[in-house]
Amino acid sequence: MSTEPFARLRRAISPLELFFDLVFVFAVGQLAAHLHEELSWRGVAETAVMLIAVMSTWALTSFDATFLDIERPRTRQLVLVVMALGLFMNAQIPHAFDDRPWAFAVPLVAIVLLTDITAAVSAATAVVRHHYRRVTVWGAISAPLWLIGAASGNEPRLAWWAGAAAVDLAGVWLAHPLPRDVLDSEGLAFDADHMVERIRLFLILQLGETVLTIGTAISAASVTVPTVTAGFGVFVAVVCLWASYFGGGEDIVTRHVAVTADRLRPVRHAVSGKYGTLAGLVTLAVGAELAISHPTGHGSVQLGLLLFGGPILYLITQAWWYYVTTGRAWAARLLACLACAVAGIAAVWLPPLASVLILVAILVALVLVLKQAHHQVLRAMAAEEAS
């Protein structure tokens, strides 16, 4: 067990952290544009690789800002530098697999190594400094793969970058272990409340960017009854995804983190889940664009995968978090995923507008069920705390 003293640190969210998040929320529209432009399995793979890169840099920097204290001038300088690098990196997403691979890979590698080494040197406690030395080792493994991929042709680049993304993803999910050297976070001093709020606000920004992407699709379409209905329906679907967490689900997260002995573990799980959440919103945004542009056209496999696959990724990530942490409020989400899977198959033969209305019906029903489920879970948690 860690020998670090357990401290319930509480710091307010800095305006700089929200400013920083905007740079990475910008990537939602960029990733959606790339996937929409490259609607193929290769396009999906390219988008997934870049999505992992975006989320990994956000996760590493956000944990750094929390461990190193965002109020320290040196930490603020680090965040500003990462913002500049991240803005340039995210702007290259549509071109990373074309003629600008270096413009994407170099800022990415710089962010990873800069954040890792800074924390390994300047973190306040020995345990955290040692942990970030492990993180730096993982970064040193993935960085050459990103650079080799940038130097390669378009075909092999995907393989090199997929390997790099797999290393970065595994590192975040597993807390960057080394042989016989793993992070023991129980009792570790960590501002969990701060990170929970960071995740909450980042999700709101992601949902907001998804709405903007859908709004752009509505603006580009003709103003007809089917188009307006499809646009309104997709908006309702995004609102339902918002309500699936913010309709009581966030209170379960906050309460669980407040009472658990290992306050870092559920936050790590939540950050790991953001990969699936972001993938779901990007996928839904592209499906929405297809439905809004041709609401009365023919259904397709692509439409079914995108329009219903997005909510499945979003909800199954939530279900996983609630299952591995509280063991509650996950079953309804899985049932909604099953319903979306069946509807996604049917979407091959249905007009896009009909698919949108079916998605809305599934998600509205889920929100109504979750409202009651969240209330019951919160009552049970309160009773357990009182006993």
**Domain shared by 26 and 112, yes or no:** yes
User: Is residue 185 in a domain?
Assistant: no
pLDDT of residue 3: 41
User: Is residue 266 in a domain?
Assistant: yes
User: Is residue 73 in a domain?
Assistant: yes
Average of per-residue pLDDT across 139-158: 94
* Eight-class DSSP state of 94: G
| Domain termination residue (choose one: 174, 208, 229) | 174
Domain that holds residue 286: 192-386
What does the buried/exposed string (b/e) look like for 305-337 if buried means 16 or more CB atoms within 10 Å of the residue's CB? bbbbbbbbbbbbbbbbbbeebbebbbebbbbbb
pLDDT of residue 263: 86
Q: Which two tokens stand for residue 177?
A: 């272990």
Which neighbouring-strand residues pair with 181?
178
Task: Place 385 in a pLDDT band, splitting at 50, 70 and 90.
Answer: confident
pLDDT of residue 4: 43
**Domain shared by 273 and 133, yes or no:** no
Does the structure show a pLDDT above 80 at 303?
yes
351 and 297 Cβ atoms separated by less than 8 Å? yes
Nearest Cα neighbor of 68 from 21, 2, 17 is 17
pLDDT of residue 9: 52
Q: Which two tokens stand for residue 291?
A: 């439905």
Using CA of residue 299, residue 302, residue 306, residue 312, what is the dihedral sign? positive
Nearest Cα neighbor of 55 from 244, 252, 212, 270 is 270
**Domain shared by 153 and 219, yes or no:** no
Residue bearing tokens 């199954």: 316
Does the structure show a pLDDT above 90 at 183?
no
User: Is residue 1 in a domain?
Assistant: no
User: Is residue 5 in a domain?
Assistant: no
Task: Place 10 in a pLDDT band, splitting at 50, 70 and 90.
Answer: low
Task: Place 5 in a pLDDT band, splitting at 50, 70 and 90.
Answer: very low
**Domain shared by 256 and 155, yes or no:** no
Total domain count, the chain:
2
Q: Which range, of 6-15, 135-144, 192-201, 218-227, averages the lowest pLDDT? A: 6-15
Q: What percent of the chain has pLDDT over 70?
A: 97
pLDDT of residue 189: 78
Q: What percent of the chain has pLDDT over 90?
A: 71
For residue 303, the surrounding DSSP H or E stretch is: helix 301-325
**Domain shared by 286 and 163, yes or no:** no
For every residue of 3-17, DSSP letters joined together read -SPP-----PPPHHH
Task: Place 2 in a pLDDT band, splitting at 50, 70 and 90.
Answer: very low
**Domain shared by 149 and 60, yes or no:** yes
Average of per-residue pLDDT values in the chain = 91
**Domain shared by 339 and 281, yes or no:** yes
Close Cβ partners of 250 (under 8 Å, ≥ 6 residues apart): 200
Task: Place 178 in a pLDDT band, splitting at 50, 70 and 90.
Answer: very high
Average of per-residue pLDDT across 115-125: 91
Does the structure show a pLDDT above 90 at 301?
yes
**Domain shared by 301 and 353, yes or no:** yes
Q: What share of the chain is helix, strand, coil (3-state, %, to 5)?
A: 80, 0, 20
**Domain shared by 101 and 233, yes or no:** no
pLDDT of residue 245: 93
Nearest Cα neighbor of 213 from 21, 343, 16, 35 is 35
Task: Place 69 in a pLDDT band, splitting at 50, 70 and 90.
Answer: confident
Average of per-residue pLDDT across 234-242: 96
271 and 59 Cβ atoms separated by less than 8 Å? yes
For every residue of 220-257, DSSP letters joined together read HS---HHHHHHHHHHHHHHHHHHHHHHTTHHHHHHHHH
User: Is residue 182 in a domain?
Assistant: no
User: Is residue 9 in a domain?
Assistant: no
Does the structure show a pLDDT above 70 at 380?
yes
**Domain shared by 169 and 77, yes or no:** yes
**Domain shared by 129 and 38, yes or no:** yes
User: Is residue 301 in a domain?
Assistant: yes
Does the structure show a pLDDT above 60 at 107?
yes
More confident residue, 383 or 174: 174
